Structure 1
Amino acid sequence: MTEPPRQTPVFRFAPSPNGRLHLGHALSALINAEMAAEARGRLLLRIEDIDLTRCNQALEQAIYDDLDWLGLAYERPVRRQSEHFDQYRTALDTLIASGLVYPSFLTRGEVKARVAAVEENGGRWPRDPDGAPLYPTEERGLSPDERTEKLATTERHALRLDMEKALAAAGHPLTWTETGDGARGEVSADPAAWGDVVLWRSDAPASYHLAVTVDDAAQGVTHVVRGLDLFHATSVHRLLQHLLGLPQPVYHHHRLILGPDGRKLSKSAGDTALAALRVEGKTPSDIRALIGI
Protein backbone atom coordinates (compact mmCIF):
# COMPACT_ATOMS: atom_id res chain seq x y z
CA MET A 1 0.00 0.00 0.00
CA THR A 2 1.34 3.43 -0.95
CA GLU A 3 1.79 5.75 2.00
CA PRO A 4 0.12 9.18 1.77
CA PRO A 5 2.49 12.04 0.96
CA ARG A 6 4.05 13.71 3.98
CA GLN A 7 2.61 17.12 4.78
CA THR A 8 5.34 19.70 4.93
CA PRO A 9 5.28 21.46 8.32
CA VAL A 10 4.67 25.20 8.05
CA PHE A 11 5.78 27.64 10.77
CA ARG A 12 5.34 31.41 10.93
CA PHE A 13 6.78 34.39 12.78
CA ALA A 14 4.22 37.20 12.93
CA PRO A 15 5.41 40.54 14.37
CA SER A 16 3.52 43.84 14.29
CA PRO A 17 5.27 46.96 12.92
CA ASN A 18 4.19 49.19 15.81
CA GLY A 19 7.60 49.34 17.49
CA ARG A 20 11.13 47.96 17.24
CA LEU A 21 11.75 44.25 17.68
CA HIS A 22 13.32 43.33 21.05
CA LEU A 23 14.94 40.28 22.62
CA GLY A 24 11.57 38.59 23.10
CA HIS A 25 10.89 38.80 19.38
CA ALA A 26 14.36 37.43 18.65
CA LEU A 27 13.63 34.44 20.87
CA SER A 28 10.35 33.69 19.10
CA ALA A 29 11.80 34.18 15.63
CA LEU A 30 14.79 31.94 16.29
CA ILE A 31 12.72 29.21 17.98
CA ASN A 32 10.43 29.19 14.94
CA ALA A 33 13.44 28.95 12.63
CA GLU A 34 15.05 26.13 14.61
CA MET A 35 11.84 24.12 14.86
CA ALA A 36 11.15 24.58 11.15
CA ALA A 37 14.68 23.38 10.32
CA GLU A 38 14.39 20.36 12.62
CA ALA A 39 11.05 19.41 11.05
CA ARG A 40 12.35 20.02 7.52
CA GLY A 41 9.52 22.50 7.18
CA ARG A 42 8.88 25.98 5.84
CA LEU A 43 9.24 29.27 7.72
CA LEU A 44 6.93 32.15 6.81
CA LEU A 45 6.94 35.77 7.90
CA ARG A 46 3.66 37.60 8.42
CA ILE A 47 3.43 41.33 9.05
CA GLU A 48 0.49 41.93 11.38
CA ASP A 49 -0.24 45.53 10.41
CA ILE A 50 -4.00 45.52 10.86
CA ASP A 51 -3.72 48.45 13.31
CA LEU A 52 -3.36 51.20 10.73
CA THR A 53 -3.00 53.95 13.33
CA ARG A 54 0.11 52.49 15.04
CA CYS A 55 1.82 50.50 12.29
CA ASN A 56 3.92 52.16 9.61
CA GLN A 57 6.27 51.29 6.75
CA ALA A 58 9.41 52.51 8.52
CA LEU A 59 8.85 50.08 11.39
CA GLU A 60 8.00 47.32 8.92
CA GLN A 61 11.32 47.88 7.14
CA ALA A 62 13.04 47.81 10.53
CA ILE A 63 11.63 44.31 11.07
CA TYR A 64 13.20 43.11 7.83
CA ASP A 65 16.50 44.75 8.77
CA ASP A 66 16.56 43.15 12.22
CA LEU A 67 15.67 39.69 10.91
CA ASP A 68 18.28 39.92 8.14
CA TRP A 69 20.87 40.91 10.75
CA LEU A 70 19.92 37.88 12.86
CA GLY A 71 20.39 35.70 9.79
CA LEU A 72 16.78 34.53 9.71
CA ALA A 73 15.78 32.97 6.40
CA TYR A 74 12.07 33.03 5.56
CA GLU A 75 9.97 32.59 2.45
CA ARG A 76 8.81 35.45 0.27
CA PRO A 77 6.49 37.09 -0.54
CA VAL A 78 5.60 38.17 2.97
CA ARG A 79 1.91 38.21 3.92
CA ARG A 80 0.73 41.61 5.15
CA GLN A 81 -2.59 41.76 6.99
CA SER A 82 -3.44 45.15 5.49
CA GLU A 83 -3.72 43.46 2.09
CA HIS A 84 -6.33 40.91 3.20
CA PHE A 85 -9.17 42.85 4.80
CA ASP A 86 -11.61 41.17 2.40
CA GLN A 87 -10.77 37.73 3.81
CA TYR A 88 -11.45 38.88 7.36
CA ARG A 89 -14.78 40.37 6.25
CA THR A 90 -15.78 37.12 4.57
CA ALA A 91 -15.10 35.19 7.79
CA LEU A 92 -16.99 37.80 9.83
CA ASP A 93 -19.97 37.61 7.47
CA THR A 94 -20.03 33.82 7.93
CA LEU A 95 -20.33 34.25 11.69
CA ILE A 96 -22.95 36.99 11.28
CA ALA A 97 -25.03 34.77 8.98
CA SER A 98 -24.89 32.06 11.66
CA GLY A 99 -26.41 34.47 14.19
CA LEU A 100 -23.31 34.44 16.40
CA VAL A 101 -22.42 38.14 16.27
CA TYR A 102 -24.08 41.24 17.75
CA PRO A 103 -23.28 44.97 17.75
CA SER A 104 -22.08 46.49 21.04
CA PHE A 105 -22.15 50.17 21.90
CA LEU A 106 -20.68 50.74 25.37
CA THR A 107 -17.46 52.74 25.41
CA ARG A 108 -14.43 51.66 27.39
CA GLY A 109 -15.13 54.47 29.81
CA GLU A 110 -18.69 53.29 30.36
CA VAL A 111 -17.56 49.72 31.00
CA LYS A 112 -14.84 50.96 33.34
CA ALA A 113 -17.39 52.98 35.31
CA ARG A 114 -19.67 49.95 35.67
CA VAL A 115 -16.81 47.80 36.88
CA ALA A 116 -15.72 50.43 39.38
CA ALA A 117 -19.23 50.80 40.75
CA VAL A 118 -19.57 47.05 41.34
CA GLU A 119 -16.13 46.62 42.87
CA GLU A 120 -16.41 49.71 45.09
CA ASN A 121 -19.45 48.09 46.67
CA GLY A 122 -17.58 44.87 47.38
CA GLY A 123 -18.71 42.99 44.30
CA ARG A 124 -16.50 41.09 41.87
CA TRP A 125 -16.59 41.74 38.14
CA PRO A 126 -15.54 38.78 35.97
CA ARG A 127 -12.21 39.23 34.21
CA ASP A 128 -10.47 37.48 31.34
CA PRO A 129 -7.14 35.57 31.69
CA ASP A 130 -5.26 38.83 31.02
CA GLY A 131 -7.09 40.56 33.86
CA ALA A 132 -9.32 42.78 31.73
CA PRO A 133 -13.01 43.09 32.72
CA LEU A 134 -15.44 41.06 30.62
CA TYR A 135 -17.86 43.07 28.52
CA PRO A 136 -21.46 43.26 29.86
CA THR A 137 -23.81 40.90 28.09
CA GLU A 138 -27.20 42.66 28.08
CA GLU A 139 -26.76 43.88 24.47
CA ARG A 140 -26.99 40.27 23.32
CA GLY A 141 -30.75 40.56 23.84
CA LEU A 142 -31.45 43.78 21.92
CA SER A 143 -34.24 43.41 19.37
CA PRO A 144 -33.52 43.99 15.65
CA ASP A 145 -35.32 47.34 15.86
CA GLU A 146 -33.30 48.40 18.90
CA ARG A 147 -30.06 47.46 17.17
CA THR A 148 -31.04 49.35 14.03
CA GLU A 149 -31.88 52.44 16.04
CA LYS A 150 -28.62 52.35 17.97
CA LEU A 151 -26.58 51.78 14.79
CA ALA A 152 -28.25 54.82 13.25
CA THR A 153 -27.61 57.07 16.23
CA THR A 154 -24.26 55.84 17.59
CA GLU A 155 -21.09 57.00 15.85
CA ARG A 156 -18.89 54.05 16.83
CA HIS A 157 -19.61 50.47 17.73
CA ALA A 158 -18.02 47.02 17.73
CA LEU A 159 -19.16 43.59 16.62
CA ARG A 160 -18.78 40.89 19.25
CA LEU A 161 -19.01 37.13 19.32
CA ASP A 162 -21.98 35.98 21.37
CA MET A 163 -20.00 33.49 23.41
CA GLU A 164 -23.05 31.68 24.75
CA LYS A 165 -24.42 31.03 21.26
CA ALA A 166 -20.97 30.23 19.86
CA LEU A 167 -20.35 27.55 22.47
CA ALA A 168 -23.78 26.08 21.82
CA ALA A 169 -22.99 26.00 18.09
CA ALA A 170 -19.68 24.25 18.79
CA GLY A 171 -21.67 21.50 20.45
CA HIS A 172 -18.83 19.86 22.34
CA PRO A 173 -15.73 20.79 24.35
CA LEU A 174 -12.73 21.88 22.31
CA THR A 175 -9.06 21.06 22.82
CA TRP A 176 -5.74 21.78 21.19
CA THR A 177 -2.46 19.91 20.91
CA GLU A 178 0.31 21.66 22.87
CA THR A 179 4.04 20.91 22.73
CA GLY A 180 5.42 23.98 24.49
CA ASP A 181 6.77 25.12 27.83
CA GLY A 182 3.46 25.65 29.63
CA ALA A 183 1.82 22.29 29.05
CA ARG A 184 2.07 19.28 26.79
CA GLY A 185 -0.54 17.04 25.23
CA GLU A 186 -4.23 17.78 24.74
CA VAL A 187 -5.24 21.03 26.46
CA SER A 188 -8.88 21.85 27.20
CA ALA A 189 -9.95 25.12 25.61
CA ASP A 190 -11.97 27.57 27.71
CA PRO A 191 -13.25 30.28 25.34
CA ALA A 192 -15.90 31.38 27.85
CA ALA A 193 -13.14 32.81 30.05
CA TRP A 194 -12.79 35.63 27.50
CA GLY A 195 -16.46 36.60 27.36
CA ASP A 196 -17.91 38.20 24.22
CA VAL A 197 -14.68 39.00 22.37
CA VAL A 198 -14.50 41.76 19.78
CA LEU A 199 -14.32 40.63 16.14
CA TRP A 200 -14.59 44.03 14.43
CA ARG A 201 -14.57 47.70 15.41
CA SER A 202 -15.50 50.86 13.56
CA ASP A 203 -11.79 51.76 13.47
CA ALA A 204 -10.40 48.26 12.77
CA PRO A 205 -11.35 45.79 10.01
CA ALA A 206 -10.80 42.76 12.27
CA SER A 207 -9.68 41.91 15.77
CA TYR A 208 -6.45 40.09 16.50
CA HIS A 209 -8.40 36.91 17.27
CA LEU A 210 -10.24 36.88 13.95
CA ALA A 211 -7.33 37.99 11.78
CA VAL A 212 -4.78 35.53 13.18
CA THR A 213 -7.22 32.63 12.83
CA VAL A 214 -7.94 33.47 9.20
CA ASP A 215 -4.26 34.14 8.44
CA ASP A 216 -2.99 30.85 9.83
CA ALA A 217 -5.52 28.92 7.75
CA ALA A 218 -4.87 30.96 4.60
CA GLN A 219 -1.10 30.38 4.91
CA GLY A 220 -1.45 26.67 5.65
CA VAL A 221 0.28 27.04 9.00
CA THR A 222 0.59 23.67 10.72
CA HIS A 223 2.60 24.77 13.79
CA VAL A 224 1.89 27.98 15.70
CA VAL A 225 4.94 28.83 17.79
CA ARG A 226 4.56 31.91 19.99
CA GLY A 227 5.02 33.21 23.55
CA LEU A 228 3.28 31.92 26.65
CA ASP A 229 1.45 35.25 26.94
CA LEU A 230 -0.86 33.98 24.17
CA PHE A 231 -1.42 30.52 25.66
CA HIS A 232 -4.94 31.23 26.96
CA ALA A 233 -5.95 33.17 23.83
CA THR A 234 -5.65 29.88 21.94
CA SER A 235 -9.03 28.94 23.40
CA VAL A 236 -10.69 31.70 21.34
CA HIS A 237 -8.77 30.73 18.22
CA ARG A 238 -9.82 27.10 18.55
CA LEU A 239 -13.46 28.17 18.82
CA LEU A 240 -13.22 30.38 15.74
CA GLN A 241 -11.47 27.62 13.80
CA HIS A 242 -14.31 25.26 14.65
CA LEU A 243 -17.05 27.76 13.78
CA LEU A 244 -15.41 28.69 10.45
CA GLY A 245 -14.47 25.14 9.47
CA LEU A 246 -10.74 25.88 9.47
CA PRO A 247 -7.89 23.43 10.16
CA GLN A 248 -6.36 23.11 13.62
CA PRO A 249 -2.59 23.69 13.92
CA VAL A 250 -0.35 22.24 16.60
CA TYR A 251 0.55 24.89 19.19
CA HIS A 252 3.86 25.49 20.94
CA HIS A 253 3.91 28.33 23.49
CA HIS A 254 7.46 29.12 24.56
CA ARG A 255 8.97 30.89 27.55
CA LEU A 256 9.12 34.68 27.67
CA ILE A 257 12.06 37.03 28.08
CA LEU A 258 11.38 39.08 31.20
CA GLY A 259 12.64 42.49 32.16
CA PRO A 260 14.16 43.53 35.52
CA ASP A 261 10.62 44.10 36.87
CA GLY A 262 9.70 40.49 36.14
CA ARG A 263 7.28 41.42 33.37
CA LYS A 264 7.54 40.48 29.72
CA LEU A 265 9.45 42.87 27.50
CA SER A 266 7.59 45.67 25.76
CA LYS A 267 8.37 47.53 22.56
CA SER A 268 8.45 50.68 24.67
CA ALA A 269 11.56 49.36 26.42
CA GLY A 270 14.07 50.70 23.94
CA ASP A 271 17.12 49.38 25.77
CA THR A 272 16.18 45.82 24.78
CA ALA A 273 15.49 46.69 21.13
CA LEU A 274 17.65 44.72 18.72
CA ALA A 275 18.61 47.91 16.90
CA ALA A 276 19.89 49.48 20.13
CA LEU A 277 21.85 46.36 21.01
CA ARG A 278 23.36 46.32 17.54
CA VAL A 279 24.51 49.94 17.98
CA GLU A 280 26.16 48.88 21.25
CA GLY A 281 28.23 46.41 19.28
CA LYS A 282 26.32 43.23 20.03
CA THR A 283 26.49 40.49 17.40
CA PRO A 284 23.83 37.92 16.41
CA SER A 285 25.78 35.40 18.47
CA ASP A 286 25.58 37.73 21.46
CA ILE A 287 21.81 37.93 21.02
CA ARG A 288 21.53 34.15 21.01
CA ALA A 289 23.53 34.02 24.24
CA LEU A 290 21.40 36.72 25.86
CA ILE A 291 18.18 34.81 25.16
CA GLY A 292 19.59 31.42 26.06
CA ILE A 293 19.78 29.78 22.64
Structure 2
Amino acid sequence: MKNINKSKFEIEKSLKNIKENIIVPDIDGQYDSNKIYKFKQRKTIWRYKVVTAFTMVFLLCGTGTYAAFTYIFNNDSSDKGLTTAEVNGKVSYSNYFSEKQNLRVTVDGVITDGVRTVLHILFEGSEVKGGIPEIEEIYLVDEDGVNYPVTHWGQGDIKNNNKFDETIIEFDGSPLSKTNLKLSLKNINGIQDQWDIQFPVTPTNVKIYNTNSKASTDNFELEFSKVTFTSTYTILEGKSKNFDFTNSAKLSNSTGKVELLKSEGQEEDDLIKLFFPPIEESDRLTLEITSFENQEILSSLSIPIQ
Protein backbone atom coordinates (compact mmCIF):
# COMPACT_ATOMS: atom_id res chain seq x y z
CA MET A 1 0.00 0.00 0.00
CA LYS A 2 2.92 2.36 0.77
CA ASN A 3 4.36 1.87 -2.71
CA ILE A 4 0.96 2.61 -4.30
CA ASN A 5 0.55 5.80 -2.25
CA LYS A 6 4.08 6.86 -3.17
CA SER A 7 3.37 6.28 -6.88
CA LYS A 8 0.15 8.28 -6.72
CA PHE A 9 2.03 11.13 -4.98
CA GLU A 10 4.70 11.18 -7.68
CA ILE A 11 2.08 11.12 -10.45
CA GLU A 12 0.15 14.00 -8.86
CA LYS A 13 3.36 15.97 -8.58
CA SER A 14 4.12 15.33 -12.26
CA LEU A 15 0.65 16.48 -13.27
CA LYS A 16 1.12 19.69 -11.29
CA ASN A 17 4.35 20.38 -13.15
CA ILE A 18 2.66 19.69 -16.49
CA LYS A 19 -0.02 22.24 -15.65
CA GLU A 20 2.59 24.86 -14.88
CA ASN A 21 4.29 24.31 -18.26
CA ILE A 22 1.22 24.35 -20.51
CA ILE A 23 1.16 27.42 -22.77
CA VAL A 24 -2.18 29.23 -22.68
CA PRO A 25 -2.77 32.19 -25.02
CA ASP A 26 -3.81 35.56 -23.65
CA ILE A 27 -7.26 36.92 -24.40
CA ASP A 28 -5.97 38.60 -27.56
CA GLY A 29 -4.45 35.34 -28.76
CA GLN A 30 -0.79 36.26 -27.94
CA TYR A 31 1.65 33.94 -26.18
CA ASP A 32 4.20 34.81 -23.49
CA SER A 33 7.67 34.48 -25.09
CA ASN A 34 9.28 33.49 -21.77
CA LYS A 35 6.89 30.57 -21.42
CA ILE A 36 7.63 29.49 -24.99
CA TYR A 37 11.37 29.48 -24.27
CA LYS A 38 10.79 27.59 -21.04
CA PHE A 39 8.60 25.11 -22.91
CA LYS A 40 11.29 24.45 -25.56
CA GLN A 41 13.85 23.81 -22.83
CA ARG A 42 11.67 21.24 -21.17
CA LYS A 43 10.05 19.60 -24.22
CA THR A 44 11.67 16.23 -23.56
CA ILE A 45 10.68 16.27 -19.89
CA TRP A 46 7.14 17.35 -20.82
CA ARG A 47 6.73 14.35 -23.13
CA TYR A 48 7.79 12.08 -20.28
CA LYS A 49 5.25 13.66 -17.99
CA VAL A 50 2.44 13.16 -20.48
CA VAL A 51 3.22 9.45 -20.45
CA THR A 52 3.18 9.59 -16.66
CA ALA A 53 -0.22 11.29 -16.73
CA PHE A 54 -1.68 8.53 -18.85
CA THR A 55 -0.16 6.02 -16.44
CA MET A 56 -2.02 7.73 -13.61
CA VAL A 57 -5.30 7.41 -15.49
CA PHE A 58 -4.63 3.72 -16.00
CA LEU A 59 -3.81 3.21 -12.31
CA LEU A 60 -6.88 5.07 -11.14
CA CYS A 61 -9.11 3.06 -13.48
CA GLY A 62 -7.50 -0.11 -12.21
CA THR A 63 -8.40 0.79 -8.63
CA GLY A 64 -12.02 1.57 -9.56
CA THR A 65 -11.76 5.31 -8.81
CA TYR A 66 -13.17 6.50 -12.14
CA ALA A 67 -16.66 7.74 -13.00
CA ALA A 68 -18.62 5.23 -15.08
CA PHE A 69 -20.81 6.56 -17.87
CA THR A 70 -24.46 5.52 -17.58
CA TYR A 71 -26.59 5.15 -20.69
CA ILE A 72 -30.09 6.60 -20.45
CA PHE A 73 -31.75 4.45 -23.13
CA ASN A 74 -31.11 1.25 -21.21
CA ASN A 75 -34.36 0.40 -19.39
CA ASP A 76 -37.33 -1.79 -20.24
CA SER A 77 -38.88 0.99 -22.35
CA SER A 78 -35.89 1.03 -24.71
CA ASP A 79 -35.60 -1.33 -27.63
CA LYS A 80 -32.31 -2.64 -28.99
CA GLY A 81 -32.33 -0.01 -31.72
CA LEU A 82 -32.29 2.85 -29.21
CA THR A 83 -29.64 1.20 -27.08
CA THR A 84 -27.41 0.65 -30.11
CA ALA A 85 -27.91 4.25 -31.28
CA GLU A 86 -26.75 5.58 -27.91
CA VAL A 87 -23.70 3.30 -27.85
CA ASN A 88 -22.89 4.63 -31.35
CA GLY A 89 -23.05 8.23 -30.12
CA LYS A 90 -26.32 9.20 -31.85
CA VAL A 91 -28.07 10.65 -28.77
CA SER A 92 -28.20 14.40 -28.15
CA TYR A 93 -28.02 15.07 -24.41
CA SER A 94 -29.69 18.19 -23.05
CA ASN A 95 -31.11 19.85 -19.95
CA TYR A 96 -34.20 21.72 -21.15
CA PHE A 97 -36.99 21.75 -18.59
CA SER A 98 -40.29 23.23 -17.42
CA GLU A 99 -41.33 23.41 -13.77
CA LYS A 100 -44.90 23.81 -12.52
CA GLN A 101 -46.42 23.14 -9.09
CA ASN A 102 -43.36 21.40 -7.60
CA LEU A 103 -42.95 19.12 -10.60
CA ARG A 104 -40.00 19.61 -12.94
CA VAL A 105 -40.05 17.91 -16.35
CA THR A 106 -36.70 17.71 -18.17
CA VAL A 107 -35.83 16.55 -21.68
CA ASP A 108 -32.36 15.12 -21.10
CA GLY A 109 -31.92 12.91 -24.17
CA VAL A 110 -33.15 13.05 -27.78
CA ILE A 111 -32.87 10.72 -30.79
CA THR A 112 -34.21 11.87 -34.17
CA ASP A 113 -33.32 9.53 -37.02
CA GLY A 114 -35.63 10.52 -39.85
CA VAL A 115 -38.13 7.77 -38.97
CA ARG A 116 -38.94 8.31 -35.32
CA THR A 117 -38.29 10.81 -32.54
CA VAL A 118 -37.58 9.43 -29.06
CA LEU A 119 -37.24 11.53 -25.91
CA HIS A 120 -35.86 10.55 -22.54
CA ILE A 121 -37.80 12.48 -19.88
CA LEU A 122 -37.05 13.08 -16.19
CA PHE A 123 -39.72 13.89 -13.60
CA GLU A 124 -38.51 15.45 -10.37
CA GLY A 125 -40.37 16.79 -7.34
CA SER A 126 -42.76 16.00 -4.54
CA GLU A 127 -45.53 15.03 -6.98
CA VAL A 128 -43.67 12.10 -8.52
CA LYS A 129 -45.71 8.96 -7.86
CA GLY A 130 -43.58 6.29 -9.50
CA GLY A 131 -44.74 3.85 -12.14
CA ILE A 132 -45.89 4.86 -15.59
CA PRO A 133 -46.67 8.61 -15.45
CA GLU A 134 -50.28 9.61 -15.99
CA ILE A 135 -50.25 12.19 -18.79
CA GLU A 136 -53.55 13.30 -20.28
CA GLU A 137 -52.19 14.96 -23.43
CA ILE A 138 -48.83 14.82 -25.24
CA TYR A 139 -47.87 16.98 -28.22
CA LEU A 140 -44.63 17.37 -30.18
CA VAL A 141 -44.45 20.10 -32.85
CA ASP A 142 -41.54 21.52 -34.85
CA GLU A 143 -40.99 25.16 -35.79
CA ASP A 144 -42.78 24.64 -39.12
CA GLY A 145 -45.93 23.48 -37.35
CA VAL A 146 -45.51 19.78 -38.18
CA ASN A 147 -47.06 17.59 -35.47
CA TYR A 148 -45.51 14.24 -34.58
CA PRO A 149 -48.07 11.86 -33.02
CA VAL A 150 -47.05 9.94 -29.91
CA THR A 151 -46.87 6.17 -30.32
CA HIS A 152 -46.13 5.07 -26.75
CA TRP A 153 -44.33 5.80 -23.53
CA GLY A 154 -43.26 3.55 -20.71
CA GLN A 155 -41.90 3.31 -17.22
CA GLY A 156 -38.25 3.91 -16.40
CA ASP A 157 -36.39 3.73 -13.12
CA ILE A 158 -37.72 5.18 -9.86
CA LYS A 159 -35.07 6.76 -7.68
CA ASN A 160 -34.57 8.88 -4.58
CA ASN A 161 -37.58 7.60 -2.63
CA ASN A 162 -39.95 8.06 -5.58
CA LYS A 163 -39.00 11.74 -5.99
CA PHE A 164 -37.19 11.10 -9.24
CA ASP A 165 -38.75 9.20 -12.14
CA GLU A 166 -37.92 8.76 -15.82
CA THR A 167 -39.71 7.62 -18.93
CA ILE A 168 -39.21 7.34 -22.67
CA ILE A 169 -41.72 8.88 -25.07
CA GLU A 170 -41.66 7.83 -28.72
CA PHE A 171 -43.22 9.75 -31.61
CA ASP A 172 -43.97 8.67 -35.17
CA GLY A 173 -41.88 10.63 -37.66
CA SER A 174 -38.87 12.87 -37.35
CA PRO A 175 -37.56 16.15 -38.75
CA LEU A 176 -35.14 15.68 -41.63
CA SER A 177 -33.06 18.78 -40.92
CA LYS A 178 -31.96 20.88 -37.97
CA THR A 179 -34.90 22.54 -36.22
CA ASN A 180 -36.50 23.32 -32.86
CA LEU A 181 -39.09 21.05 -31.28
CA LYS A 182 -41.69 21.94 -28.67
CA LEU A 183 -42.93 19.26 -26.28
CA SER A 184 -46.18 19.91 -24.42
CA LEU A 185 -47.38 17.67 -21.58
CA LYS A 186 -50.78 18.43 -20.07
CA ASN A 187 -52.11 17.31 -16.68
CA ILE A 188 -49.45 15.02 -15.20
CA ASN A 189 -50.38 12.70 -12.32
CA GLY A 190 -53.56 14.63 -11.68
CA ILE A 191 -51.90 18.07 -11.61
CA GLN A 192 -53.95 20.40 -13.78
CA ASP A 193 -51.27 22.32 -15.68
CA GLN A 194 -49.21 22.29 -18.86
CA TRP A 195 -45.46 21.83 -19.21
CA ASP A 196 -43.97 23.28 -22.42
CA ILE A 197 -40.34 22.55 -23.30
CA GLN A 198 -38.58 23.82 -26.42
CA PHE A 199 -35.25 22.35 -27.53
CA PRO A 200 -33.07 22.12 -30.68
CA VAL A 201 -32.53 18.87 -32.60
CA THR A 202 -30.21 17.77 -35.38
CA PRO A 203 -31.44 14.55 -37.01
CA THR A 204 -29.01 11.80 -37.90
CA ASN A 205 -28.61 10.74 -41.51
CA VAL A 206 -31.04 8.44 -43.29
CA LYS A 207 -29.87 6.32 -46.23
CA ILE A 208 -32.36 4.58 -48.54
CA TYR A 209 -31.44 1.98 -51.15
CA ASN A 210 -33.36 0.00 -53.73
CA THR A 211 -33.33 -3.76 -53.87
CA ASN A 212 -35.11 -6.53 -55.76
CA SER A 213 -35.32 -9.66 -53.65
CA LYS A 214 -37.92 -12.42 -53.66
CA ALA A 215 -38.52 -15.54 -51.65
CA SER A 216 -41.35 -18.03 -51.58
CA THR A 217 -42.31 -21.12 -49.64
CA ASP A 218 -45.35 -23.37 -49.65
CA ASN A 219 -46.96 -21.02 -47.12
CA PHE A 220 -45.97 -17.45 -48.03
CA GLU A 221 -44.26 -15.15 -50.51
CA LEU A 222 -42.01 -12.13 -49.88
CA GLU A 223 -40.73 -9.42 -52.19
CA PHE A 224 -38.58 -6.54 -50.91
CA SER A 225 -37.94 -3.34 -52.88
CA LYS A 226 -36.38 -0.91 -50.36
CA VAL A 227 -33.83 -0.95 -47.54
CA THR A 228 -33.53 1.98 -45.12
CA PHE A 229 -30.61 2.55 -42.74
CA THR A 230 -31.11 4.94 -39.79
CA SER A 231 -29.38 5.38 -36.45
CA THR A 232 -32.04 3.26 -34.66
CA TYR A 233 -33.38 0.98 -37.40
CA THR A 234 -32.63 -1.09 -40.44
CA ILE A 235 -35.94 -1.38 -42.31
CA LEU A 236 -36.94 -3.77 -45.09
CA GLU A 237 -40.00 -2.76 -47.12
CA GLY A 238 -41.95 -4.60 -49.78
CA LYS A 239 -44.93 -6.88 -50.33
CA SER A 240 -45.99 -10.19 -48.89
CA LYS A 241 -48.60 -12.85 -49.48
CA ASN A 242 -49.98 -15.07 -46.72
CA PHE A 243 -47.16 -14.00 -44.41
CA ASP A 244 -47.59 -14.86 -40.73
CA PHE A 245 -46.63 -11.75 -38.78
CA THR A 246 -46.00 -13.82 -35.67
CA ASN A 247 -42.89 -15.21 -37.36
CA SER A 248 -39.47 -14.11 -36.18
CA ALA A 249 -36.59 -13.00 -38.38
CA LYS A 250 -32.85 -12.33 -38.32
CA LEU A 251 -30.86 -9.96 -40.51
CA SER A 252 -27.13 -10.34 -41.02
CA ASN A 253 -24.08 -9.39 -43.06
CA SER A 254 -20.32 -9.71 -42.64
CA THR A 255 -20.38 -7.31 -39.66
CA GLY A 256 -22.93 -9.11 -37.50
CA LYS A 257 -26.51 -10.28 -36.96
CA VAL A 258 -29.59 -8.56 -35.48
CA GLU A 259 -33.02 -9.87 -34.54
CA LEU A 260 -36.41 -8.53 -35.61
CA LEU A 261 -37.82 -5.75 -33.41
CA LYS A 262 -41.27 -5.50 -34.95
CA SER A 263 -43.18 -6.01 -38.18
CA GLU A 264 -45.93 -3.99 -39.79
CA GLY A 265 -48.27 -5.01 -42.57
CA GLN A 266 -51.65 -4.54 -44.15
CA GLU A 267 -53.41 -7.65 -45.36
CA GLU A 268 -55.63 -5.78 -47.82
CA ASP A 269 -52.67 -4.58 -49.94
CA ASP A 270 -50.01 -7.08 -48.80
CA LEU A 271 -47.56 -4.37 -47.70
CA ILE A 272 -44.87 -5.36 -45.22
CA LYS A 273 -42.22 -3.60 -43.15
CA LEU A 274 -39.65 -5.41 -41.03
CA PHE A 275 -37.80 -3.34 -38.40
CA PHE A 276 -34.40 -4.44 -37.09
CA PRO A 277 -31.79 -2.73 -34.91
CA PRO A 278 -29.19 -0.77 -36.90
CA ILE A 279 -26.63 -2.87 -38.75
CA GLU A 280 -23.63 -1.56 -40.66
CA GLU A 281 -24.22 -0.80 -44.31
CA SER A 282 -22.99 -3.36 -46.80
CA ASP A 283 -23.64 -4.33 -50.40
CA ARG A 284 -25.64 -7.39 -49.35
CA LEU A 285 -27.84 -8.52 -46.45
CA THR A 286 -29.13 -11.96 -45.56
CA LEU A 287 -32.63 -12.39 -44.15
CA GLU A 288 -33.75 -15.51 -42.31
CA ILE A 289 -37.44 -16.00 -41.53
CA THR A 290 -37.93 -18.30 -38.54
CA SER A 291 -40.96 -19.73 -36.78
CA PHE A 292 -41.91 -18.12 -33.49
CA GLU A 293 -42.36 -21.41 -31.65
CA ASN A 294 -39.10 -23.28 -32.28
CA GLN A 295 -37.00 -20.83 -34.35
CA GLU A 296 -37.02 -23.21 -37.32
CA ILE A 297 -35.69 -21.49 -40.46
CA LEU A 298 -38.62 -21.16 -42.87
CA SER A 299 -36.85 -19.16 -45.58
CA SER A 300 -33.48 -17.55 -46.28
CA LEU A 301 -33.15 -14.61 -48.65
CA SER A 302 -30.15 -12.73 -50.03
CA ILE A 303 -30.84 -8.99 -50.36
CA PRO A 304 -28.46 -7.00 -52.64
CA ILE A 305 -28.16 -3.27 -51.92
CA GLN A 306 -28.27 -1.01 -54.97
TM-score w.r.t. length of structure 2: 0.23
More helix by share: 1
Normalising by structure 1, report the TM-score: 0.23
State the structure with bigger RCO (CA 8 A, min sep 6), 1 or 2: 1
Larger Cα Rg: Structure 1 or Structure 2? 2
